[in-house]
Structure 1
Amino acid sequence: MKLNYRVIIFIAAAIFGLALSAPTLVGLNGPKITLGLDLQGGLHMLLGVDTDEAIKSKIKSLASSIKYAAEDEDLIIDEFKVKEGKVLFELLDKDDMPKMDEILKKIEGIAVQKDGLKYSISLTPKEVESVKKYAITQAVDTIRNRLDQFGLAEPTVAKQGEDKILVEVPGIKTPEQEQRIRELIAKAAHLQLMAIDEDRAANVDSMTPSEASQYGDVILKGAQNPNRKYLVKEIPILDGSMLTDARVAFDQNNQPVINFTLNSQGAQIFGDFTGKNVGKRLAVVLDNRVYSAPVIRERIGGGSGQISGGFTVKEAHDVAIALRSGALLAPVFMEEKRSVGPSLGADSIKASMIALIAGFVAVVIFMVLYYGIAGAVADVALIVNLFLILAIMSLFGATLTLPGMAGIVLTVGMAVDANVIINERIRELLYEGKSVAKAIEQGYANAFSAILDANITTLIAAVVLYAYGTGPIKGFAITMSIGILASMLTAILGTHGIWQMIENRIDKNKLNLWFGIKGV
C-alpha cells in the first residue's frame, strides 16, 4: 500500500469534515449550523407598506433641496411651504427666475407650474409610481439590513405580491424577543435636523396645528417629556438620507448617546446652517419626536452630531442599528403575525432524520451487496461527503431548513451515483479482459465526462433556484450545491486514490468479492 496525493487530499477532507461537523453534531464550541424557522420555530409576519407617506417624505426632501439651492444662489423667496403634495413659493425678484428655472431643471421627476413669480412644484405621475415601488424595495432591504445587524441567523425578508413584505425570523421564543424584533422592524428611524421657529416658539402651547401650518411650522412633542412642545419649521434642514454612520457612545454622565456622521453634502448643509444661525436653536428630531434642541454656539463643521434622550443601552443600540441601516421611506404595519412553535420543528427534524438515516442505510447496504468491496469504498466516500456538507454549512453559518434537509437526503443518492457509473465502467473493462490496474484507470477516465456533465447541469439548476427562490428554496439549493461539489472531491478524487493505493492487493480470482462480478 502506498499513499498518493489523491488519498492525502481525501484524508484531509475527512478530517476537515469531522472537525467542523463536531460542534453541530455533539455540541462542542465552534461554528454551528443554525436551524430555520420551520425547524426551530420563530416569528412569521406579513407587513404592509404605507406608500403614501413615502410620497410626503419625498416632497419634503424635495423642498429642502430647493430651499438650500436657492439660499446658496442668494435667491430671495417668500411664502415657502409644502401644501397638498406640492412645494409652493414666490420669488420676490423677477431677475432671479432664470437661476431658479436652472435649479429646477436639474431635478428629475417634477412638474413645474408658474403663475408670474409664484411656483408650484409637484411630482410627475411616473415619479409617484417610481417612489412607491422604491419605497417597498427599500423597506425590504432596510428590514433585512436591520435584522442582519441585530445578529439574527438567516432571517427571511422578501417582497410578496405588489405591496407586501414577508418576514420570517427563526429562534424567537419569548414575548420580549418578539416585541423587540417588531419594534426594530417597524421603527421608521427618520432623523431630521429642524430649525426652531424662534419668533413664535413662546406661543407653542396655545397654538393649534392648523395655526402652526399657516406659518410653515409643525408642532412636535419631546421624546423625554411628551408634555413639552416644540414649534419647528416644517421643511427640515436635512434628513437621515444624508447620514452615513451611527454609533452608541457615552456622555460625560456615562449615559448612552448616539453619535452620527453625515455625508459630504449633509456636512456642507449642516455647516452652512449652523454658521448662519449662531444663537438660535436646532432640533434633533427622530421619528417626529424632539430628542434635543440645543442652542447653536458656533459653526459646526465636520458633519457630525449627537442624539441624546435618556436612552437605555439596549434602546440606543437598536436606534443606532435602525439609523445605520437606513430610514424607512414609508411606514410598515402588521397585517398578519403568527408564532411557529418548536413542536412542528421537532416533528420535522425527526421525520427528516428518519428519511436521511433510512435512505443512507439502504444505499450503503445496496452498494455493498451489489458491488462488494467497491461498494464499501463508495460508502466511505459517501460518509465523508455528508460530513463535508455539514462542515461547510457550519463554516459559513448557513441555516438548515426542512427543504435543506431534503437536499441532503437527495445528495446521498446523487453522491453515490458517481461511483455507480465508475464501478460499471470498471466492470465492463474487466469483462473485456483488461488488467485490474488498467480497468481502474480507464474506468475513471471513461466515467469522468459523464459525471462532470451531470453534476454541472444539476449545479446550474441549483444556482438558478438560489438566485430566484425564497428562503426555503435557497436552503434546498445550498445543500444540494455543496453536496454536488463535495461529491466531486470524495466520489471521484477520493475513491480513485483509494483504488490506486490498494490495486496491487486485488486478487484477480476474487473479483466477485472486490467488484461484485462473476466469471472473469
Structure 2
Amino acid sequence: MKLNYRVVIFALSIIFGLFFSAPSLFQMQDGKKITLGLDLQGGLHMLLGVKTEEAVKSRIKSIAASIKHFSERKDILIDSLHFDENEITFTLLDKDDAKTVQTFLHEIEGAVVVVVDEKISLSLTNEEIAETEKQAISQAIETIRNRLDQFGLTEPVVARQGEEKILVQLAGIKSADEEQRARELISRAAKLELMAVDEDRAARVHTMSESDAAAYGDVILEDAANPEIKHLVHEIPILDGGMLTDAHVGFDQNNRPLINFSLNAEGAEIFGDFTGKNVGKRLAVVLDGKVYSAPVINERIGGGSGQISGSYSVMEAKDLAIALRSGSLLAPIYLMEKRSVGPSLGADSIKASMIALIGGFILVIVFMIAYYRVAGIIANIALIANLFIILAVMSLFGATLTLPGMAGIVLTVGMAVDANVIISERIRELIHEGVSTHRAIEEGYSNAMRAILDANITTLIAAVVLYAYGTGAIKGFAITISIGILASMITAILGTHGIYQMLEKRIQKSKNNLLWFGIKG
C-alpha cells in the first residue's frame, strides 16, 4: 500500500470531523457546539404587530426638529412652529428668508410644501407615508434581530409574516424570567430624546392640563423615578436617538449603573450649539416618553456625549444599552400571539429524527456491503466521514440545528452514498468489459464525475436559493444540505479514489472482483 495526496486529505478531513464534532456529540463543556432550534429544545414563539401609523407621526416630528435646528443655525426667525400627525405649520417672520427656507424644505424627500403669505405648511405625500410605514416594519425586524443577537441568543428567528406582522422564535427560553426579559428587550421603543425644559412655565406644570401645555408648544412628561413628579418640556426635541452612535454601561461615584452615550457629528454639533446658548437652563434626557434626568447646563458641552442615570439594576442597564445601540423602533410593536414550546416536543422530535437517521444509515451500510462488498465498505467509510464533517462544520460555526436541518442530514446520507453508487457501477461495467483494474478505477471516476458534479451543483444552487430567500427552519435545511454536498465532494470522490489507488496493487494481485466489487469475473 502506498499513500497518496488524496488519502492524506481524506485522513485530515476525518480528523477534523472527529475533533470538532466531539464537543457536540459528547456535550463537552469546552469547545464550540451545535445549538438546538426551537422545535428541538423548546422556547418562545411570538407573533408581533407593528403600529405603522406611529412611524409617520415620528417622521413628522423629526422633520419639525430639523426645521427648528435649521432656523436657529441660519438665524431665521420663525413663529408658531407646530405639528400634528399629518402636518407641520409655522410662520416666517422675515419675507427675505422665504427662498432659503423653501429650498431647505423642498430637499426633504416626499414633502409637500404649501406657502400662503408668511404661513408655511409641510405634509408628506401618500407614497411617502406608505414607504415610511413599510420601512417601519423592515426596520423593526432588523432592530429586533440586532437586539436578540446582542442579548446572546443563538440564531433567533425574526421574519416578516404577511404584510404587517413579525414572527419571532427564541430557542432556549425556558424560565418566566428569561421570557420576560426577552419580551421587554424586543418591545422596548428605546427612543432617546434630548428636550429643553420650558423654564418660563415649569413651576406651573402641576396645575396645567395637556391642552394648556400644547397651547405653548409644550408637553408634560412623567419622571422615570417618581411618576408624581412632572416635567414641562418643549414638544419639539433638540435631537433624538437617530443621532446616537454608541451606548454602554458605566458607574457613577456611588457605584450605581448608568448609561454613557455618544452622538454622531451632526448630533454633537446640535448638542454643543444648544448647550452653549442655554447655559443656566435645564436639558431633559427623555427615554421612551419619561424624563430620566433634567440637569442644569453649566457650560457648553462639546464632544457629543452624555449620560442617562436612573434607578435600575446592572442587568436592566445592560439591556437598555443594547436597545439604544441597536436603534430605536420607528413604530411601537404589540404582542398578537404568544406560545411557549416545551422541551418535551424537542425530545420527541429528536428521538424520531435519530431513529430515522440511524435506521436509514444502517440500511444504507448493510445494502452497500451486501451489494458492493469491499467497495461498499469503502463507500461506508466515506459516508461516516461525511457525517462527522457536517457536524464538525456546524459546531465550528455554532450553527443551530432544527428538525428540517436533521431532515437535511438524513437526505445528505442518501446523496453522499449516491455518488459512490454511480462510481462503483461505472467500475463494475468496465471490469465486466474486461479492462484492467487500474483503468477501470480511473475511467470509472472520470466517467462518473460529470453526472456527480451536475447533480451536486444543481442541488447546491437550490440550497443557496433556499438560504437566501428562506427563513428560520428553511435556512437550517439549506445549510445542512450545502455542507453535506461540499463534504461529499471530499469524502465520496476524493477520499474513496485515494483509497482505491492505495489498494490498487492488492486488488490486482487478488483477482477477486466478487470480493472487491461484488461482481463475478
What TM-score comes out, normalization by structure 1 length? 0.99
TM-aligned CA deviation for residue 311 of structure 1 = 2.0
Deviations 1:208-244 (A, max 9, x none): 1110000000000111111111000000011001111
Give the Cα separation in 2 of the matches to 1:474 and 1:8: 33
Give the 5 Å matches for 1:297-308.
297-308=298-309
1:97 matched to 2:98? The reply is yes
Identify the match of residue 517 of structure 1 among 509, 516, 519: 519
- The residue that corresponds to 2:4 in the other structure is 4
Q: 1:298-344, CA deviations, whole angstroms, 9 ceiling, x for partnerless residues? A: 11111111111122100100000001111000000000001011111
* 1:494 partner letter: G
* AA of the residue aligned to 1:6: R
**Which amino acid is 1:12 matched to?**
L
Distance 2:478 2:86 in 1: 46
Letter in 1 for 2:515: L
Deviation at 1:102, TM superposition (A): 1.2
Structure 1 residue 81: Cα displacement: 1.5
Match of 2:358 in 1: 357
Partner of 2:488: 487
Corresponding position of 1:228: 229
Partners of 2:302 and 2:2 lie apart in 1 by: 72
| Structure 1 residues 249-264: aligned runs within 5 Å | 249-264=250-265
Report the counterpart of residue 273 of structure 1 in structure 2.
274
How far residue 84 of structure 1 moved from its aligned partner, in angstroms, is 4.5
**Conservation of the 8 A alpha-carbon contact between 1:34 and 1:397:** yes
Tell me, yes or no, if the aligned pair for 2:44 and 2:170 is still in contact at 8 Å.
Answer: yes
Asked if 1:25 corresponds to 2:15, the answer is no
Q: Secondary structure at the match of 1:158?
A: strand
Quote how far apart the aligned CAs of 1:509 are. Answer: 2.8
Displacement of 1:82 in angstroms is: 1.4
Contact 1:80 1:87 in 2 (8 A): yes
Contact 1:209 1:218 in 2 (8 A): yes
Find the counterpart in structure 1 of residue 204 from structure 2: 203
SS at match of 1:153: coil
Write the letter of the residue equivalent to 2:351. K
* Local SS of the residue matching 1:144: helix
Aligned to 1:74, what secondary structure does the other structure show?
A: coil
CA RMSD, Structure 1 to Structure 2 (Å): 0.8
Could you tell me how far apart the structure 1 residues matched to 2:73 and 2:305 are? 21
Does residue 413 of structure 2 align to residue 412 of structure 1?
yes
Q: Deviations over 1:352-396 (max 9, x none)?
A: 000000000000000001101000000000000000000000001
Where does 1:312-327 land on structure 2 (aligned, <5 Å)? 312-327=313-328
CA distance in 1 between counterparts of 2:97 and 2:378 reads 86
C-alpha distance in structure 2 between counterparts of 1:311 and 1:124, whole Å: 42
Cα deviation for residue 435 of structure 1 reads 1.3
Is the 8 Å Cα contact of residues 222 and 290 (structure 1) preserved in structure 2? yes
Q: Distance in 2 between matches of 1:27 and 1:48?
A: 38
Tell me which amino acid in the other structure corresponds to 1:444.
Answer: Y
Alpha-carbon spacing, 1:219–1:104, altered in 2? closer, same or farther (3 Å) = same
Residue 458 of structure 1 aligns to which amino acid in structure 2?
Answer: T
Residues 469-508 of structure 1 mapped to structure 2, 5 A cutoff: 469-506=470-507, 507-508=509-510
- AA in 2 matched with 1:7: V
Write the distance in 2 (CA, Å) between the matches of 1:172 and 1:272. 46
- Contact preservation (8 Å) 1:33, 1:394: yes
- 8 Å CA contact 1:271–1:301 kept in 2: the answer is yes
Q: Does 1:374 align with 2:401?
A: no
Which position in structure 1 is the counterpart of 2:243? 242
Query: Are 2:176 and 1:175 aligned?
Result: yes
Q: Do the aligned partners of residues 84 and 439 (structure 1) sit closer, same or farther apart at CA in structure 2, a change above 3 Å counting?
A: closer
| Aligned residues of 2:106 and 2:113 also touching (Cα < 8 A) | no
For 2:134 and 2:322, locate their aligned partners in 1 and report how far apart those are by CA, in whole Å: 24
The unaligned stretches of length 5 or more in structure 2 are none
SS of equivalent to 1:484: helix
Q: CA deviation at 1:508?
A: 4.8
Give runs of aligned pairs for residues 343-492 of structure 1, distance below 5 A. 343-492=344-493
In structure 1, C-alpha distance between the alignment counterparts of 2:388 and 2:437, rounded to whole Å: 31
Matched with 2:120 is 119
Letter in 2 for 1:161: G
**Structure 1 CA distance, aligned partners of 2:483 and 2:301?**
53
Tell me the secondary structure at the aligned position of residue 181 of structure 1: helix
Q: Which amino acid aligns with 2:109?
A: E
Q: Among the aligned pairs, what percent are the same residue?
A: 69
**Equivalent residue, structure 2, for 1:110:** 111
Contact 1:157/1:165 (<8 A) preserved: yes
CA contact (8 A) 2:259 2:321 kept: yes
Work out the CA distance in 2 between the residues paired with 1:252 and 1:198: 29
1:510 partner letter: N
Alignment of 1:135-150 (within 5 A): 135-150=136-151
In 1, the alpha carbon distance for the partners of 2:394 and 2:58 equals: 42
Match of 2:329 in 1: 328
Per the alignment, residue 44 of structure 1 pairs with: 45
How many residue pairs get aligned? The number is 519
2:89 partner SS: strand
TM-score (ref. length: structure 2): 0.99
Q: Which moved more, 1:300-309 or 1:505-514?
A: 505-514
* Paired residues of 1:436 and 1:508 also in contact (CA < 8 A): no
Contact 2:56 2:85 in 1 (8 A): no
Give the SS at the match of 2:311: coil
How far apart, CA to CA, are the structure 1 residues paired with 2:304 and 2:422?
A: 66
Which segments of 5 or more consecutive residues in structure 1 lack a partner in the other structure? none
Amino acid at match of 1:136: I
3-state SS of paired residue (1:369): helix
